[in-house]
Amino acid sequence: MQAELIDEARRQIEICNACRYCEGFCSVFPSIHADRAFSDGDITHLANLCHNCRGCYYACQYTAPHQFDLNLPAALAEVRQKSWSDYAWPQPFARLFERNGVVVATCLALATALLFWIAQALRPVSGEGFYAYLSHGVMVSIFAPAFLFPLIAMGVSIRRYWADTVGRPVTFAALKQATKDIAAMKNLSGGHGEGCNFEDEDRYSHARRFAHQLTLWGFLLCFASTSSGTVLHYGFGLEAPYAFFSLPKLLGVPGGLMLCAGTAWLARLKLQADPELGAKAAWGGEMAFVALLFAVSATGLLLYSATGSALVSWLLPLHLGTVLALFLLIPYSKMAHGFYRTAALIGDSVRRC
Amino acid sequence: MSPRNTSPDILVIGGGNAALCAAITARETGASVLILEAAPKPYRGGNSRHTRNFRCMHEGPLGVLTGRYSEDEFFDDLIKVTKGKTDETLARMTIGRSEENYAWMASHGVHFQPSLSGTLSLSRTNAFFLGGGKALVNAYYRRAAALGIEVAYEAKVTHVETDGKRVSSVDAEIGEQRVTYTPRAVVVASGGFQANLDWLADAWGPAARNFLIRGTPYNRGVVLKDLLDQDIQSVGDPTQCHAVAIDGRAPKFDGGIVTRLDCVPFSIVVNKNGDRFYDEGEDVWPKRYAIWGRLVAAQPDQVGYAIIDAKSIDKFMPSVFPPVQADTIEGLSQQLGLAGDSLRKTVDAFNAACRPGEFHPTELDGLATEGLTPPKTNWARPITEAPFYGYELRPGVTFTYLGLRVDQTAQVQGPEKPVENLWAAGEIMAGSILGQGYLAGFGMTIGTVFGRIAGQEASAYAS
């Protein structure tokens, strides 16, 4: 971890701890106020607990041009970004965090789409629906490792992160609390329930909270859709394609629509927000990640609507390519935030017990 | 700077809590309103941006306020701090109206939060603003904009023309531009003069140049002085300011809350000659911090040094600057620049006068020195455990007492009778009620109550 980033965050946090006016905004401040001295692990924990709601920035009497020059959302965003890169596994891939996200995402999406295009050269002789274009065996042999590898990589990272920031066993109560906080995105509620400051300076709004939850719940529904398909396939011998009134479709179609709408909304908000209050260097990468999520859902919906037409032969590899890119980039993109934030919320409960 | 309406119904001078309450209230009753705020936008809000709560009476639990805080108890608290220097009619009216203001503030965008960690003693009497005073100020500016109130920043009023009976015009400099306004009514809510070091030095003596100013550098008292020069009636002691002991390394202006130091009761405080000068353990800190401003102001170079040891470093709220630290008293003395071995002698004398007993940091524990002058009457524990810590103390001025005399309708009093179209709110008239001392959060109560009255009265006059 770059010492300057941690030291700058510590300087600001110590000023916050002497002030305490922001106590009710989010979980970060009560956590600060419980301590007097802050280790590097404490700072990393606070950085990952921060949801960048910006309430504290606009309320702060010490922001520039004041000589104390406080910008806590940016200071914590910088530490947070660096911590993901430091904890990434395997380390050589961590550099992906530091390069232009747009390039990474686009290249990977195109490359994988191309890969599938080639895979179609091995087009099966028989098969229904998607499997008419790509056999189930080929899909599984590509996606099983592409799904498992990022999970293993994240597992290694979170383990190390936890050791440095909490270092105590998870409790059931902490898990419960964190699940509630995530489900309602409590830390973007502003503490008073009117939302956070993001797209229009000090105006409180739920826009970012709602856009985030549309994205999160949309993503989870899509994930549940895929999982239900897997269970139907292996557990019940029911193979795709599925009818509209089937579990995969009933979960996947609304999920896809939510994910599309949520990511488009997030991207718009991000364009309106002041980049000075975040990790500026990460802006492009974050936007690329939002775009990739949008592409996953949009191509998925297009693919479904094109069922039975010749377009499937184009849309299928494009959709699967974006999904593959998304999976592979999980540990090295903004997607990692979900894992670290969850760990930080659980960790915060554990630390306070 | 775009040309603005130079003849609004109401011209509000100032951009803090009282000014905004007046402007919003006037606008809501239909008047056109222009706010002239001397500060640039990032520093708007005067001293309100540094506040954190307002004191509020309530007959039962109210929002974040616990229990009951009656009008009489509130008034008694006021009498204790002011030693009776208050206008009872105005004070009781302010207290009585504080309760209804809780809901008014909330309905105008102010969010409250339970009393902050470390301030539990205020949970019954003071409603804390979520995010502090700047968040409150932001909310009011948002509301003002939504209502169509015009705001000019960096708009310095240089003169309010009055014949003692009526304000005829107001001159201001907005950036390079000089503008003369002819409003129907004027609300002046431009604060005290505590940022005007020349004036402070005239009133208090040259030592005042060494004082730190805890709040905005824009409260220079220009409008106050201009009106007093035109024989408008004043209230409050012109020589006095409210000063507390704060960290001596604080910025000259705008250091705000984080520069406070709560370590004095657990320390010995010496001057630059290494001598103690007052009982550090006389009472709990919330009841003593205000007198320490004056005590330090009376010392050579207006500076003091609080000395503690390792036993006490975690007994008080953390402050913004780390203490000076050394393994020996001699080392600490040298780092603080104290004369010779004077600190060593003072610490030795103090330690020898300490007696065994139970130490209770949160209450008067009676752990007192014996045979020491001045004594330390509570929390007197020998300073023996390294490392030793030192904090430099200086007087930090919060506000001044001199202001404009107003009546119950917030109307400013001319030489013979009320000025027909001039009202005042906030620090500029608070001296009527707070003649001495301070009661936490009462400045915001006065500002809100009188701001709303001033806005209402001015609007009624203008229509």
pLDDT given for residue A142 in this prediction:
85
Is A66 within 8 Å of B320 when comparing Cβ atoms? Answer: no
Q: What is the mean pLDDT of residues A310-327?
A: 87
Residue B296 · residue B394 · CB < 8 Å: yes
Angle value at C-alpha A22, between A16 and A24, nearest 5 degrees: 135
Q: What is the mean pLDDT of chain A?
A: 91
Quick one: angle between helices A101-119 and A312-329, nearest 10?
130
Is the pLDDT confidence value at B20 over 80? yes
The pLDDT value recorded for residue B287 is 81
Q: How many residues does chain A have?
A: 353
Cα angle at B227 between B148 and B171, to 5 degrees?
A: 50
Q: Tell me how far CA of residue B444 lies from CA of B1, B217, B238, in angstroms.
A: 31, 19, 21
Residue B416: what residue type? E
Picking from A18, A23, A68, the nearest residue to B319 by CB comes out as A18
User: Which residues from B are below 8 Å from A66, CB to CB?
Assistant: 254
Contact between A18 and B320 using a beta-carbon 8 Å cutoff: yes
> How close B336 gets to chain A, by Cα (Å)?
23
Is the model's pLDDT at B2 over the cut of 60? no
Two structure tokens written together for A248 = 């995969």
What is the rounded distance in angstroms from the CA atom of residue A318 to the CA atom of residue A106?
12
- Cβ separation A19–B132 shorter than 8 A: yes
pLDDT attached to residue B1? 43
pLDDT value at residue A103: 65
For A11, which residue in chain B has the nearest alpha carbon?
A: B320
Residues in Cβ contact with A293 at an 8 Å cutoff, skipping those fewer than 6 apart: A215, A219, A259, A263, A326
Q: Is the pLDDT of residue B33 over 50?
A: yes
- Residue B270: what residue type? V
Q: Of B133, B139, B318, which is closest to A14 when you measure between CB atoms?
A: B318
CA-based nearest distance B244→chain A, Å = 17
CB nearest B258 (choices: A18, A191, A202): A18
Q: What would the pLDDT profile of A76-116 be if each residue is shown by its tens digit?
A: 999 999 999 999 999 888 877 766 677 667 767 776 777 67
- Which member of B119, B133, B314 has the closest CB to residue A36? B314
Q: Over 90: is that where the pLDDT of B175 sits?
A: no
CB A267 within 8 A of CB A287: yes
- Give B-chain residues touching A61 at CB under 8 angstroms: 49-50, 132-134, 254, 256-257
Q: Is the pLDDT of residue B206 over 70?
A: yes
Q: What is the ipTM of this complex?
A: 0.95
Residues B273 and B300 sit within 8 Å (Cβ to Cβ) = yes
CA distance A149 to chain B (A): 43
Contact B211, B203 (CB under 8 A): no
- Minimal C-alpha gap between B42 and chain A (Å): 8
Chain A contact set for B214 (CB, 8 A): none
List the single residue in B131, B142, B251 with the smallest CB-CB distance to A21.
B131
Interface of B with A (CB under 8 A): 42-43, 49-50, 52, 111, 113-114, 116-119, 129-135, 138-139, 142, 251, 254, 256-258, 260, 314, 317-320
CB < 8 Å to B263, chain A: none
Residue B184: which residues within 8 A CB-CB, separation 6 or more? Answer: B7, B8, B9, B10, B421, B461, B462
Residues 6+ apart with CB under 8 A from A258: A214, A215, A217, A218, A221
Q: A62, B256: Cβ pair inside 8 Å?
A: yes
Q: What angle do CA B322, A17, A270 make, to 5 degrees?
A: 125
Whole-number Å distance between alpha carbons of A59 and A22: 8
Q: Letter for the amino acid at B86?
A: T
The CA distance from B248 to the nearest CA of chain A, in Å, is 15
Residue A340 to residue A178: CA distance in whole angstroms: 12
Contacts of B319 in chain A (CB under 8 A): 18
Q: Are B49 and B133 in contact (CB under 8 A)?
A: yes
Distance CA A260, CA A337 (A): 19
Indicate the Cα dihedral angle B47, B51, B55, B60, nearest 10°: 140
Q: B198 burial class (0-12, 13-18, 19+ CB within 10 angstroms)? A: exposed
Interface of A with B (CB under 8 A): 14-15, 17-25, 30, 33-34, 36, 55-56, 58-68, 190-192, 194, 202-203
Region of poorest pLDDT, from A236-240, A297-301, B142-146, B364-368: A236-240
Place of tokens 């100013």: B213
Predicted pLDDT of residue A339:
97
Helix, strand, or coil (residue A169): coil
For chains A and B, what is the number of CB pairs under 8 angstroms? Answer: 93
Give the model confidence (pLDDT) of B321-360 as tens digits: 999 999 999 999 999 999 889 999 999 999 999 999 999 9
Contact call for B142 and A203, based on CB within 8 A: yes
**B64 contact residues in A (CB cutoff 8 A):** none
CA gap B361, B216 in Å, rounded: 34
Summarised one tens digit per residue, pLDDT across range B36-66 is 999 999 999 999 999 999 999 999 999 999 9
Look over chain B and give the mean of its residue pLDDT values, rounded to a whole number. 95
- Average pLDDT for B209-234: 97
- B317 contact residues in A (CB cutoff 8 A): 18
- Residues of chain A contacting residue B320, judged by C-beta atoms under 8 Å apart: 14-15, 18, 68
Nearest chain B CA: its distance from A168 CA (Å): 25
**Mean pLDDT, range A340-349, rounded to an integer:** 97
pLDDT confidence band for A328 (50 / 70 / 90)? confident
pLDDT exceeds 80 at position B266: yes
Inter-chain residue contact A61 with B118, CB threshold 8 Å:
no
Q: What's the gap in Å between the CA of A80 and the closest CA on chain B?
A: 23
Using the beta-carbon criterion (under 8 Å), do A21 and B142 form an inter-chain contact? no
Q: How close B130 gets to chain A, by Cα (Å)? A: 6
Residues of chain B contacting residue A19, judged by C-beta atoms under 8 Å apart: 132, 256-258
Measured between beta carbons, the chain A residues lying within 8 angstroms of B387 are none
Angle between helices A312-329 and A283-305 (to 10 degrees): 150
Residues on chain A touching B251 (C-beta within 8 angstroms): 67
- On the question of pLDDT at B309 being above 70, the answer is yes
Rounded to whole angstroms, the Cα distance separating A177 from A212 reads 19
Question: How far A208 CA lies from chain B's nearest CA (Å)?
Answer: 20
Dihedral sign for Cα atoms in the order B442, B444, B447, B449: negative
Residues of chain B neighbouring A24 (CB-CB closer than 8 A): 111, 113-114, 130-131
Q: What is the pLDDT of residue A113?
A: 76
Residue of A nearest to B215 (CA): A61
Contacts of B41 in chain A (CB under 8 A): none
In this structure, are strands B212-213 and B185-188 parallel, antiparallel, or unpaired?
unpaired
Residues B64, A69: Cα–Cα separation, whole Å? 31
Cα–Cα distance for residue pair A291/A322, rounded to 1 Å? 10
Give the lowest-confidence range in B168-172, B276-280, B289-293: B289-293
What number is the average pLDDT over the span B439-459? 97
Helices first, then strands: H and E counts in chain A: 14, 2
Altogether, the residues listed in chain B come to a count of 463
What per-residue confidence (pLDDT) applies to B286? 81
Q: What residues of B are in contact with residue A18 (Cβ under 8 Å)?
A: 257-258, 260, 317-320
pTM: 0.95
Round the CA-based radius of gyration of chain A to a whole number and report it.
22
Q: Do B117 and A33 touch (CB under 8 A)?
A: yes
Q: What is the pLDDT of residue B377?
A: 97
Read off the tokens for B353.
């006068």
What are the beta bridge partners of residue B397? Answer: B213, B243
Q: What do you get for the CA distance between the two ends of chain B, in Å? A: 28
Quick one: tokens of A224?
């549940």
Residues A109-149 have pLDDT tens digits of 776 777 677 667 777 777 777 787 788 888 888 889 989 99
Mutate to test the interface with A, among B17, B108, B112, B113 (most CBs of A within 10 A): B113
pLDDT above 80 for B120:
no
Closest partner residue to A20 (CB to CB) among B116, B135, B314 is: B116
∠ CA B394-B15-B320, nearest 5°, is 30
First-to-last alpha carbon distance for chain A, in angstroms, is 28
pLDDT, one tens digit per residue, over B384-434 is 999 999 999 999 999 999 999 999 999 999 999 999 999 999 999 999 999
Model confidence band, residue A207 (pLDDT cutoffs 50, 70, 90): very high
Distance from CA of A265 to the nearest CA of B (A): 24
A56, A58, A192 ranked by CB distance to B138: nearest: A58
Q: Cβ contact (<8 Å) for B111 and A194?
A: yes
Whether B303 and B392 have beta carbons less than 8 Å apart is answered as yes
Q: Are B5 and B437 in contact (CB under 8 A)?
A: no
pLDDT in tens, B78-104: 999 999 999 999 999 999 999 999 999
Contacts of A190 in chain B (CB under 8 A): 111
pLDDT surpassing 90 at residue B10:
yes
Instruction: Quote the minimal CA–CA distance from B113 to chain A in Å.
Output: 6
Helix/strand/coil (H/E/C) assignment for every residue in chain B: CCCCCCCCCEEEECCCHHHHHHHHHHHHCCCCEEEECCCCHHHCCHHHHHCCEEECCECCCECCECCCECHHHHHHHHHHHHCCCCCHHHHHHHHHHHHHHHHHHHHCCCCEECCCCCCHHHCCCEEEECCCHHHHHHHHHHHHHHHCCEEECCEEEEEEEECCCCEEEEEEEECCEEEEECCCEEEECCCCCCCCHHHHHHHHCHHHHHCEECCCCCCCCHHHHHHHHCCCCEECCCCCEEEEEEECCCCCCCCHHHHECCCHHHCEEECCCCCECCCCCCCCHHHCHHHHHHHHHCCHHHCEEEEECCCCCCCCCCCCCCCEEECCHHHHHHHHCCCCCHHHHHHHHHHHHCCCCCCCCCCCCCCCCCCCCCCCCCCCCCCCCCCEEEEEEEEEEEEECCEECECCCCEEECCCCEEEEEEECHHHCHHHCCCCCCCCCHHHHHHHHHHHHHHHHHHHHHC
